[in-house]
Amino acid sequence: MSEIIIPHVDSPHPFEAYVQVVEPLTIDDGGGYLITFPDLPGCMSDGETEAEAVANAREAFSVWMSARGSDCRAACTPAWWRGPRPKVRRRIRW
């Protein structure tokens, strides 16, 4: 099997500009926390703690942006950039 190498592409906006939804995972799902980005379909990560999930999400975010490549410039604009900025960018659902 050959390895696919994806060149790094910088995001047009910083990690913190995107809404992040943090949800606890059930014990049946392995516990810990899941983090998703509503503006970035399929971009998600998890971790044992919320802090670890966010740290892992930074890497997932970078890989997601790089995989999108030059297509990301227009398609990856945070929703608040197109309208009013939300007051809360990270939500925890219990």
Q: What is the largest CA-CA distance in the chain?
A: 47
Q: What is the mean pLDDT of the chain?
A: 83
Indicate whether 89 pLDDT > 70.
no
Q: Is residue 65 part of a domain?
A: yes
Average pLDDT over residues 86-90: 53
When comparing pLDDT for 7 and 23, which is higher?
23
User: How many domains are contained in the chain?
Assistant: 1
- Asked, for residue 10, whether it belongs to a domain, the answer is no
**Lowest-confidence pick of 30-39, 41-50, 80-89:** 80-89
β partners of residue 90: 20
Average pLDDT over residues 55-75: 82
Q: Which of 10-14, 24-28, 80-84 has the weakest average pLDDT?
A: 80-84
Structural domain span for residue 37: 18-92
* Helical H segments across 1-94, by residue range: 50-68, 72-75
